[in-house]
Chain A
């Protein structure tokens, strides 16, 4: 069946594909950390009793969740150089390059999704826990970081990881600003060597293995936590 196919091409291009994969994983990891950090701040803002904090955070989350990711990536790529020119007054100011603009785009975009997860996680911690923390004399920051968030994150780990697996798949969108991730690398070789079927099959297999083992790990984790509770 596979006569006429050349699977050697995969082996030949492994170093290049590995570079692409490192990029994909690196971007995923950085965007995940940044997104969770920013998402936590947004979630705390949304839950704050002050409209001055909760309204802007809510508006941001709803806005970002209503536009496609690819648009956000484009935006940052084209807007940041414009903004830099305006800010510095230097008409030749270049942007911050495609990598950082993509990283910022992913972080800001994912933050909106993480925010909603983290908000639900914080709300899953019984109110009495905050009361107990305050009754001991802890202030808002201490009660949040020492009592509420550790429990919230423990409840959220499975869904945070699931979201991060989707984020990993989404990183393939960086091709629109000319970056080469794993998917991009596979595509380039496929076109250069005329080996579309082989390369795209291989890429699909790699994504499947990584994402499936990720989901499996999450499932195991979930089963363990449910027993522990």
Chain B
């Protein structure tokens, strides 16, 4: 579904991504982890071209992301994305946040969009909040709305960029529960996260990044059982022992 080949990216002379190669197959859940500044967020943003990259190739569903002729809005409309800071549109009601792209991009009728939005809000347990503004919701609720907004586009795959990092601890689980359920339904997911519990429960594969490189790309059982690289072992020992 998502395929990356030798992707490299520079900010000026600083190389943030070094020859990254990995893939996410249909129905697979891949967790990307690693220390801060290792390039995981940059990598996931390259998948839907929110960040440009200078070398290598990324294809989503066979369509090249970096090629000059690619219809990016069309491509992006098939890839859901959830951000660390939710990025709901604060000037629109919750329901309108979810309706917007359905109407403007998918050209659904307002009634059809509304029906879809309400069913998704129900699914994330927030149908009573439909007429509120994002600022009136808690962080966990906002992130669930953001997930509903992405799902409203009937995406082929979902990208999660540290979806729980900005949340208070007691709200993390309500978001992870929604994501776990999505994964169980067979959604193709690429998740940048520090939630190793989520990774060990839900992921099929774990990609470990450090300093712009993909250091380890292994099945979940192998990654948590016996990580091959020293850097991954070091990272796991720091993150699991507290």
Contacts and interface: CB of A to CB of B under 8 A. Distances in A.
Interface of A: 126, 128-129, 131-139, 142, 146-147, 150-151, 154, 229
B76 A151 contact: no
Contact of B50 (A131, A139, A146): A131
10 contacts: A126-B85, A128-B83, A128-B87, A132-B87, A134-B50, A135-B50, A135-B150, A142-B104, A142-B105, A146-B104
Contact of A129 (B72, B79, B89, B135): B89
Contacts of A129: 87, 89
B90 A136 contact: no
Contacts of A135: 48, 50, 76, 79-81, 83, 150
Nearest to B79: A135
A177 B69 CA distance: 54
Interface in B81-103: 81, 83, 85, 87-91, 100-101
Contacts of B104: 138, 142, 146
Using C-beta atoms within 8 Å of the partner chain, give the interface range for chain B: 20 to 34
Nearest to B75: A137
B105 A137 contact: yes
Interface in B64-78: 72-74, 76-78
A132 B89 contact: yes
Given A137-B76, A137-B101, A150-B91, A131 B83 contact: yes
Contact of A151 (B91, B106, B150): B91
A-side binding surface: helix, strand, loop or mixed? Answer: helix
B83 A136 contact: no
Given A131-B50, A142-B104, A137 B87 contact: no
Contacts of A151: 89-91
A137 B74 contact: yes
A133 B73 CA distance: 10
A147 B89 contact: yes
B58 to A, nearest CB: 15
A136 B76 contact: yes
B91 A137 contact: no
Interface string B103-146: 01110000000000000000000000000000100000000000
A136 B149 contact: yes
A132 B73 CA distance: 12
B31 interface: no
A137 B77 contact: yes
B2 interface: no
Interface string B29-56: 0000000000000000100101000000
Nearest to A139: B73
B16 interface: no
A136 B153 contact: yes
Nearest to A151: B91
A24 B90 CA distance: 37
Closest 7 CB pairs of A and B: A137-B77, A132-B87, A136-B101, A135-B81, A137-B105, A128-B87, A139-B73
B91 A154 contact: yes
Nearest to B104: A142
B158 to A, nearest CB: 11
A229 B90 CA distance: 10
Contacts of B74: 137
A135 B74 CA distance: 10
Contacts of A154: 91
A18 to B, nearest CB: 39
B143 to A, nearest CB: 12
Given A142-B104, A146-B100, A146-B104, A134 B89 contact: no
Nearest to B84: A128
Contact of A137 (B73, B85, B135): B73
Given A135-B48, A135-B80, 19 more contacts: A126-B85, A126-B87, A131-B83, A131-B87, A132-B83, A132-B87, A133-B89, A134-B50, A135-B81, A135-B150, A136-B105, A136-B149, A136-B150, A136-B153, A137-B76, A137-B106, A142-B105, A151-B91, A229-B135
